[in-house]
Structure 1
Amino acid sequence: MKKLFTYVVLAALMLVVSCGEVNEMVDAPLISELKTEYYVKQGSKLELEPNVVNDKNAAYVWTLNSQEVSKDKKYTFSPETSGEYKITLTVANNGGEAVHTINVSAYPKYKYGTFVLAEGNMTNETGTLSFIDHNGNAEDSIFIKANDGKKLGNTAQDLVIANGNLYIVSQNGTRNGGLGRLVIADAGTAELKAVIDEGFSGMTTNIAVPNDKYAFVVQWNGPMYIVDLVSNKVTGKVETTNRFSKMEMVVIDNNVYAAAGRKLVKVDGNTGDVLKETEMEGQIAGVVKTHANELKVLVTGAERVIWTISKENLLKLARKSLYDISVSSMMKRAFDAEAKSNAGFFILGNKGWSPGLITYTSADAGREIFSLPSADFPDAGMFYGPFSVNPETGNIYFGYVKGYGPDYLNNGVAVISPDGKKIMDYNSKNTDVAKRIDTRFCAGIYFTDPFSPHKSN
């Protein structure tokens, strides 16, 4: 009888437990703290960690473009290529399931930031290309890395970002194993697209790309070549007796503005015809356009003047005399416009026989904002290469070397604020790779447009 009673009690307990399991109410999961859209850089890491309510005994499933990639609560996504991706998280338990879909747009790794072009040692090296992203992190030698060791031309000189491409011109082309005088690469990945070497002669130094049909390449103290970007061939020269300067050119409204000694020449970007030319009272030391597409020309000689020039007919509209400011004649661009201003300019001036100071000028008298030597940049023995003003932040970037001879291996890119204060020193000897750039004889510093992804959203 006792045994029978024991069996009955155990059976009743089992029934209660069983019924409790069947009747237990479980709420479906709820997912939060995940956005539905993300905009990330190619190769970066996107850490996805949702906050899920009612996830006891729940199963997690992550899919990437409909393919299962993880069953963990957290998921890290790193896009190897740019493009559009769809990530779906499903969390399920006995009470139901929750689904959250994320659209990820991965932009090319070099879409936003600063390209730094270096000449390399003319005798035994080639040009190199580095990049600083909009967060200030540097990556050295990006072209070589993206192209299995292929090299830019010898003594790289100038770069243009246009049509989703990088157009990089070098002075000596195939010397020392370089690819050629004009290298075209994808602006987002630095992957090689084309090389144009035949048809040039002399030392090619500067390039302008007004549209997707033509590029214009200057030979130092020589002609301007017309390059057909459809056939990737040099098809002729601009018909003029002018001998063009080693100086950066400007593109405004599909027209190219170039210096030829004392002359400013306007070339039609669709035909290569010379539309207009005007002679200045001295040697042209720089041609720039402001953020409002105004054309400014710096002239040296008996008097130093910044002219505002009509972009239509090259008439001289206004002048600003630089009575107390020296101007370097050793750079292919000795001045640049202040960010978001039509009246302010930074000018690279001589200190002794070589470029050694940066001055600022506007409606008021000019003032020195930075000079070498500088305790903030102890390895910057001398400026090397044109300096550039970031059009978004207003910061000033310039290349430097410690000196000639073996000291050229100690080099870098300096970044200062508009009032001359140190922002960053990307020195070639820096132990932090994210702050190291080996720019052996800086050829130029070029900003993407827009500089920051935050500006485009």
Structure 2
Amino acid sequence: MKRTKFMKTNILFGILLLTLCLFTGSCSNDDKAVIEPAPEFELVTEISETEPLFIVPDQTFKLEYTAKNIKSIATNTLPEGWTAEVKESENSINIKATSEAASKATLIITATNASAQEVSKEITLQCLNFFDDTKGTFILNEGNMTTENGSLTYITADGYVFDDAYKTVNGTELGNVAQDMAFCDGKIYIITQNGDENAVGTKFENDGMLIVVNAKTLKKEMAFSRSDLSTLDWPTHIAALDAEHVYIRDNKGVYRLNTNTKELTFVSGTDNAPKSRFVTMNGKVYTYKAGTLNGIIEISPENDNATKINFPYRVEISINEVLGIQAAENGDIWVMSFGFGKSAMNKFNVESKKIIQRQINVKPSVGSSGVAFASYDNNIYYADGTTIYRLKFDEDESLNAASGLDAEETLTDLSAIDNNAGLLYNGLGVHPVTGNVYINTIKSFAQYTQNTIWSFDFNNSAENPAAKYENYTNFPAGFFFAPGK
């Protein structure tokens, strides 16, 4: 009796143990069925953590990645003009934007495993179709005459810097010794001194002497080699009214280029035109006559004959030498002059020939690009060495010319702020939107790779720049800004 009871107990215990094992095993199998390895997704293509991913319009950018434990990869819907195509077989995503796409977009990449677990990456995209932004800044670089081509540095409105924006977009380079730029009808005309061959016959691989690009995208639309423009002798400055009236200054004077026919025509009356930037306003182009019999030279598209507009014969401060000209806000022309030991800032009306003069204390430095000063409203900025000055030009006719001496302000000496600011190179620029003053300095001619782009808001501080960009330039020819639309 006891034996039977013992056996029954063992049998029941065995059944219970077997049931427990089966149940445990079943639960274990169920767990394996629902637990999936976490999805893993990483970018292989290196992208900046602090800047957007910049996309050249109409070119495919291949973003490569690695993925594990992934069932699918998808992207969000991008704004019009943008596409992102996932190529899972190639572990890549092809990103593309048209030239008319919205400038900025956000790409969200989502990788999902079999259990619907997700991992995401978010990337800020920016299409390189914003070079016509009036808040941006161009710095045209000459390059080293004997060893390198010119280049085009660009600072975006957000402060991002492209070391060579032209090469970034086109994959090729500007001509040797880039000199000047002109904006006209959605295009930028870039003139270089040597093009694809320098003065001693050294050949350079580049896009030529004159390059015409789309102002919005910087994509090359037209290029003229040195042989195409063989008439020109060391061109330095350029202005454009339309495709048939592109004016180029060289060692002889000013030529008109018809870009449709490649024909060059010398403009009579521009002999020995100075190495200085043109003024373009009211459908005409202006330069000036150097020397004692000086005045403003007006070039009209109506014919190829320039007209000289003389300064008044009697002025308080003699104008024996013109250092540079710029357009004034109201259609007048600013003229920096020097005569009999006195420097002056002049506001000259080409129609009435009325002139207002304000004397200044220094003779401003004029770089090889012929930029003697920069203006913003009635604020005139200029430099003597690395010292920056400002004249608040007062047009009150009851004041005499000498009143400018007291109105002049010494703003800052860059060499006292930074030991690397040994030389100011090629003049100042003033941003037409912000009013910030831009200045290029280099440590020395031998140490030109140690350089700085300065941006000052002198209304707030003369000692602390609003922005400072180091070691981007290569003998900068000057600052340029896209015109208002």
* TM-score, scaled to structure 2: 0.66
Structure 1 residue 270 displacement after superposition = 4.1
Q: What letter matches 2:436 in structure 1?
A: N
What secondary structure sits across from 1:398 in the alignment?
Answer: strand
Q: Percent identity?
A: 22
Counterparts of residues 30-49 of structure 1 (less than 5 Å): 43=55
Whether contact under 8 Å (1:296, 1:308) holds in the other structure is: yes
Task: Give structure 2 stretches of 5+ with no counterpart.
Answer: 1-51, 57-74, 87-92, 106-125, 198-203, 312-317, 395-405
Partner of 2:200: none
Residue deviations 1:77-125, cap 9 Å, x none? 976222257x9xxxxxxxxxxxxxxxxx978132211111000111111
Counterparts of residues 317-332 of structure 1 (less than 5 Å): 317-322=355-360, 324-331=361-368, 332=370
Partner of 1:163: 185
Whether contact under 8 Å (1:283, 1:300) holds in the other structure is: yes
Residue deviations 1:172-191, cap 9 Å, x none? 12123343221111112221
Whether contact under 8 Å (1:214, 1:270) holds in the other structure is: no
Structure 1 residue 412 displacement after superposition = 2.9
Q: Does 1:426 align with 2:469?
A: yes
Partner of 1:179: 207
Counterparts of residues 79-94 of structure 1 (less than 5 Å): 80-83=97-100
Partner of 1:443: 477
Structure 1 residue 416 displacement after superposition = 1.2
Q: Does 1:333 align with 2:371?
A: yes
**How far apart in 1 are the matches of 2:81 and 2:414?**
58
Q: What letter matches 2:343 in structure 1?
A: R
Q: Does 1:114 align with 2:157?
A: no
Q: Does 1:304 align with 2:332?
A: no
Structure 1 residue 373 displacement after superposition = 0.6
Whether contact under 8 Å (1:83, 1:106) holds in the other structure is: no
Q: What letter matches 1:333 in structure 2?
A: V
Structure 1 residue 234 displacement after superposition = 3.5
Deviates more, 1:268-277 or 1:407-416: 268-277
What secondary structure sits across from 2:415 in the alignment?
Answer: coil
**How far apart in 1 are the matches of 2:98 and 2:437?**
32
Deviates more, 1:411-420 or 1:118-127: 411-420
Q: Does 1:391 align with 2:432?
A: yes
Structure 1 residue 387 displacement after superposition = 1.1
Q: Does 1:228 align with 2:258?
A: yes
Change (3 A) 1:449 1:78: farther
Deviates more, 1:301-310 or 1:156-165: 301-310
What secondary structure sits across from 2:260 in the alignment?
Answer: coil
Partner of 1:92: none
Q: Does 1:130 align with 2:153?
A: yes
Whether contact under 8 Å (1:250, 1:257) holds in the other structure is: yes
Whether contact under 8 Å (1:117, 1:130) holds in the other structure is: yes
Query: Whose Rg is larger?
Result: 2
Change (3 A) 1:370 1:390: same
Change (3 A) 1:61 1:205: closer
Partner of 2:304: 272
Counterparts of residues 13-412 of structure 1 (less than 5 Å): 43=55, 62=77, 80-83=97-100, 108-112=129-133, 113-148=136-171, 150-175=172-197, 176-196=204-224, 197=226, 198-220=229-251, 222-231=252-261, 233-240=262-269, 242-262=271-291, 263=294, 264-278=296-310, 281-302=319-340, 303-312=342-351, 315-322=353-360, 324-331=361-368, 332-338=370-376, 341=377, 343-349=378-384, 355-362=385-392, 363=394, 365-375=407-417, 377-405=418-446, 407-412=447-452
What secondary structure sits across from 2:304 in the alignment?
Answer: coil
What secondary structure sits across from 1:387 in the alignment?
Answer: strand
What secondary structure sits across from 1:392 in the alignment?
Answer: coil
**How far apart in 2 are the matches of 1:202 and 1:391?**
32
**How far apart in 2 are the matches of 1:41 and 1:68?**
14
Change (3 A) 1:256 1:41: farther
Residue deviations 1:376-425, cap 9 Å, x none? x44222111121001111101111211122x1111231111124331111
Structure 1 residue 63 displacement after superposition = 7.7
Whether contact under 8 Å (1:296, 1:309) holds in the other structure is: yes
Deviates more, 1:182-191 or 1:261-270: 261-270
Change (3 A) 1:358 1:200: farther
Whether contact under 8 Å (1:207, 1:216) holds in the other structure is: yes
Whether contact under 8 Å (2:425, 2:475) holds in the other structure is: yes
Change (3 A) 1:69 1:145: closer
**How far apart in 2 are the matches of 1:162 and 1:284?**
27
CA-based RMSD of the aligned residues comes to 3.2
Task: Give structure 1 stretches of 5+ with no counterpart.
Answer: 1-39, 45-59, 88-104, 350-354, 429-436, 451-455
What secondary structure sits across from 1:269 in the alignment?
Answer: coil
Q: What letter matches 1:119 in structure 2?
A: E
